[in-house]
Amino acid sequence: MNFLPLTPPGQTPHRVMTIAGSDSGGGAGIQADMRTFAMLGLHGLVTVTAVTVQNSVGVKGFHEVPLDVISDQLEAVASDIGLQAAKTGMLASSAIIETVAETWDQLSLDAPLVVDPVCASMHGDPLLHPSALDALRTRLFPLATLVTPNLDEVRLLTGIDVVDTATQRDAAKALHALGPKWALVKGGHLRTSTRAPDLLFDGTEFHEFDAERIDTGHDHGAGDTLAAATASALAHGCSVPDAVAFAKQWVTECLRAAYPLGHGHGPVSALFRLTALD
Ligand code: PXL
């Protein structure tokens, strides 16, 4: 695959921010995002929203970061370092979503924003209070350049059960109607398909992204990695369809390189890039 352009040593790389939760197991969340940013040659910035207590078996609980600390992280970084793109992951509550949306608005950031509407871990442990779905739809989606729900999140956000191409199109239209410039309905969880087709919609045109389905028991952090790679490509000025096509290839290679960890599910691995450089 083709990677993003690298910055020569000593020069400042493009900056991309993750607004997300910490995963103590290091597989998903901020840790996965930062790994993808680094392996793609970008400088990663962080606004931590919540600290999860988890391992490869499941999420034991999480602690929300105080709202002023969330807005202060974003402000401190934006006013000094600057950023060319951002992505959101675990936001935990409607108050955190409101805070992120309000701060993003106040800072008038002219950067693409990828919203990955994380609702639960792969084990089904909740990472977002159910009452916060409305804040996601009404406050954050209208600010988004792109939203990237998986099929479980699509069901929660739109009520649509995606079972085939027709319902995937309906879901893309329903998501786009909530205000983002683009909606990506990820097909990775579409068990009827032997491929993993994703569908992108901008209100006019559909773009389909096909990829080989990598059957691995270790796919922790796959959604985060896709959104982080998309934001990285957008930071470099790629169009949304090009950024999604790039990220899809990236996450496919990360899935191919996924490894066992602990007693449960292992993470996808952006570390494959190091062997590609070897
Ligand atoms: O992969 C979704 C996700 C995002 N963020 C955090 C997580 C998870 C999944 O477990 O723990 C912090």
Residue 101 backbone dihedrals phi, psi, to 5 degrees: -65, -45
Ligand 1 pocket, Cβ-based, cut-off 6 angstroms: 20-21, 23, 28-29, 52, 54, 59, 89-90, 118, 121, 127, 221, 223-224
pLDDT of the residue at 248: 96
Residue 249 CA: distances (Å) to CA of 186, 203, 209, 210? 14, 24, 10, 10
Distance (Å, rounded) from C-alpha 64 to C-alpha 48?
9
At residue 199, φ and ψ (nearest 5 deg) are -125, 125
Can you tell me which atom of ligand 1 is nearest the CA of 90?
5
**What is the best residue among 19, 23, 33, 34 to mutate for testing ligand 1's pocket, by most ligand atoms within 8 Å of CB?**
23
Atom 4 of ligand 1, residue of closest alpha carbon: 29
In this predicted model, what pLDDT tens digit does every residue of 207-253 receive, in sequence order?
999 888 898 999 999 999 999 999 999 999 999 999 999 999 999 99
Looking at residue 192, its pLDDT comes to 63
Q: Which of 19, 63, 64, 118 to mutate to test the pocket of ligand 1 (most atoms within 8 A of CB)?
A: 118
Note the pTM of the prediction, 2 decimals: 0.97
pLDDT score of 191 more than 70: no
The DSSP secondary structure of 196-209, one letter per residue, reads: --EEEE-SS-EEEE
Compute, in angstroms, the gap from residue 266 CA to the centroid of ligand 1: 13
Instruction: Give the model confidence (pLDDT) of 81-139 as tens digits.
Output: 999 999 999 999 999 999 999 999 999 999 999 999 999 998 899 999 999 999 999 99
The CA angle 68-141-139, to the nearest 5 degrees, is 45
